[in-house]
Amino acid sequence: MAEARDEKQDDAKNEVSDRELHGTSTDILLAEEQEEDSGESLPSEDWQDSIKTKAVGTREGFLDSNPLTMLRANWEAAAWAVILVVAIVSRFYELGARGMSHDESLHAVYSLDLYRNGSYQHNPMMHGPFLFHANAFIYFLFGVSDATARVMPALAGIGTIVVTWFFRRWIGRTGALLTAVLFLFSPSILFHSRYIRNDIYIVFFSMIWVYFMFRYVEERKLKWLYCTVTAMALGFAAKENQFMSGTIFGVFMVGAAVWRWWTGQEKLRDSSFGDIAVLLLTLVLPFAAPLGHIVLGWDALAYSTTQDLARSAVLVLLMTGLSAAIAYWWFGPVKKSENRAGSPAGSGREGRVTFANWAILMALFWGIEILLFTTFFTNPVDGLATGVVGSLGYWLAQQEVQRGSQPWYYYIMQTLLYEFVPLFLSLGGVTLLTHRLLSGKWLSPASAGKDAASSEGRQRDGGGKSATDTGTGASFARPYFVLFLAWWGVGAWLSYSYAGEKMPWLTTHMTQPMALFGGWWGSEVLRRIDWRRVRERQGWWLLGLLPALLFVLVTLAGSIPGAGRDVDSLTRSVRFILALGLMGVLLYYGYLASLRSGWRLTLRLTAVTGFTILFLLTIRFSYLLTFVNYDMATEYLVYAHAAPDVKRALEEIETISERT
């Protein structure tokens, strides 16, 4: 079986067909079925992309290229173009139609003050300063209106979808497309992409943060750390729940570094995961000054007296010194027996981060924070106090207040109402990931080498060594990234459910990792469907079976026969009997089709059909929420809004003023 599989892969690689380059090779799918039956490992689908990488080195003329390859490539580009167009329209269409909610009105007014008068003082109650600076800039460019007040959130919502394209290296082309579509029609993300709140900025900056963070994990290049730190800084200047995200990310990086050290894959000090973990900790440690206030019994929200400011300053300086000490221990001088990469000589790894590099990264992070919190030094003392100490201090205190008084299962209810598709997809991903982890194929040195040898991350460094040889590249990071998505989702669910304050807009922060993780699992299901077998064995019956059965069940539920002898009762009885007979016929032919196709293919086709139906429902719910019931309390994502009468009254006043 192994020889047959190798022959199929060799033939496929030699042909370099379009089908292989785009991940739809039937041979690979059949081999995967054999893998599942035999329990043997098979290289990832992404070895096909390594063929494409090799082929890139050979320059071909236009007439020498395969038209089918160009057509397939154009279909992927066309799909992304359609997604982008729909994203722009859905985010900007009638952006000013909805009246301002309570929080939106505060954000719009204080942004207006900054734009007109240059006056803004950071207040932790309204979260970070990024929103106000961004909105003031939009007012400067396009003027002041309800629509322009929501331009930046709309751009962040579009940017979130665009950034998904870059995640193809870890979740595949199909996975990235599925994730982008989930973001596109997600009720919570779409609604808050047209809403002046900080949460959509957090979603956007988190996407960038995660992308650059794992690019560093892949290549250990300093440029990725600069990008990571910039995204981090903007996120922390946007809203305080980045502390939750940072904790979730940091704990995973520590776990990954310890795992690779424990299994003998690399030294702890050589770990790019360890670099990220230490960097995250040391950058944000000064923000932890309120914890010192709590331990010492001081008020973290007291800034009115010189003594209060002096206490806060001392704690911040102590935390900064602790950050520098930890950074020097990790990024400081290395042994002479190690090369600059921090790895044994000849490993080919990128240059190791030095303490001087860390100091620059620290200055970059806090330079952005200080500029925004002090409103470009127009509010230096109070801005630093409220920003560095008050940000975390205020929201730690608010968890005991429990504004909204929502129950612990609040997000379960919200997700089942609006975000059931990414929820169910991610649950499917958990089952697959658990199976792979228990099989021992993931995260082990042997499996990492196999995956690396077959993936699109098979790149060559300057010394002619492959990414496999150096333990870097997309293939190295891919299994860790998928595991990270699962960890991120679980961490978000636990942390936000445990927090005292639960609000509808926070649903976006659970939807984001679920959509990414669910997109990966959806692509895994789709690429394992052998469409040639579906066609040859009449598996199309299975695609239409579930919708037909649902239709019959609805008919049965509405046609329960009564005891009367009137025409209506007889009609219901006849309809019930016919529907019951039709259901029997459908089940029979579905059974025959499943016998021909096999139970694995039957389950996969049923899953595709089921999720398609649920996704169509999601589109409907998203449309009703965003464009019909956007200011009605009948929607559970609508919170602290004014009724539509306010907007109607304003329109009537404008009409009367124009006539007079």
204 in a structural domain: no
360 in a structural domain: yes
Query: Cβ distance 472 to 265 under 8 Å?
Result: no
Q: How far apart are CA 332 and CA 326, in angstroms?
A: 9
401, 419, 442 - which closes a domain: 401
pLDDT at residue 587, rounded to an integer: 77
Q: How far apart are CA 615 and CA 420, in angstroms?
A: 9
pLDDT at residue 523, rounded to an integer: 93
Identify the residue whose tokens are 């946007």: 238
pLDDT at residue 334, rounded to an integer: 64
Q: How far apart are CA 485 and CA 524, in angstroms?
A: 15
| Whether residues 228 and 369 fall in one domain | yes
pLDDT at residue 138, rounded to an integer: 96
52 in a structural domain: yes
Query: Cβ distance 513 to 186 under 8 Å?
Result: no
- Closest by Cα among 46, 357, 31 to 223: 357
Q: Is the dihedral of CA 213, 214, 215, 218 positive or negative?
A: positive
- Closest by Cα among 548, 584, 546, 577 to 560: 577
pLDDT at residue 350, rounded to an integer: 54
434 in a structural domain: no
pLDDT at residue 36, rounded to an integer: 42
pLDDT at residue 420, rounded to an integer: 95
- Closest by Cα among 159, 137, 162 to 148: 137
64, 84, 113 - which closes a domain: 64
Q: How far apart are CA 241 and CA 491, in angstroms?
A: 13
CA atoms lying within 13 Å on the CB side of residue 555: 19
448 in a structural domain: no
pLDDT at residue 165, rounded to an integer: 96
pLDDT at residue 538, rounded to an integer: 66
Q: How far apart are CA 347 and CA 344, in angstroms?
A: 6
545 in a structural domain: yes
For 133-168, the pLDDT digits (tens) are 999 999 999 999 999 999 999 999 999 999 999 999
pLDDT at residue 515, rounded to an integer: 97
401, 428, 463 - which closes a domain: 401
Query: Cβ distance 430 to 529 under 8 Å?
Result: no
Report residue 193 as tokens.
């992409």
Rounding to the nearest 10 degrees, give the CA dihedral for residues 152, 157, 158, 160. Answer: 120
193 in a structural domain: no
Amino acid sitting at position 340: R
Q: How far apart are CA 66 and CA 18, in angstroms?
A: 8
pLDDT at residue 47, rounded to an integer: 37
List, in order, residues 6 or more apart from 457 with CB less than 8 Å away. Answer: 46, 50, 169, 218, 467, 472, 473, 474, 475, 476, 477, 478
Total domains, the chain: 3
The β-bridge partners of 460 are 466
Give the C-alpha distances (Å, rounded to integers) separating 57 from 12, 74, 457.
18, 21, 15
pLDDT at residue 306, rounded to an integer: 86
330 in a structural domain: yes
Helical (H) or strand (E) element with 482: helix 474-498
- The residues of the chain scoring below 70 in pLDDT are 1-73, 334-351, 444-473, 538-539, 559, 561-567, 569, 595, 597, 642
pLDDT at residue 58, rounded to an integer: 42
Q: Is the dihedral of CA 382, 388, 393, 394 positive or negative?
A: positive
Q: How many CB atoms lie within 10 A of CB 120?
A: 20
Q: How many CB atoms lie within 10 A of CB 73?
A: 15
**Maximum Cα–Cα distance for the chain, whole Å?**
97
The β-bridge partners of 517 are none
Domain range for 371: 223-401
Record the pTM: 0.82
pLDDT at residue 215, rounded to an integer: 95
pLDDT at residue 41, rounded to an integer: 38
pLDDT at residue 12, rounded to an integer: 44
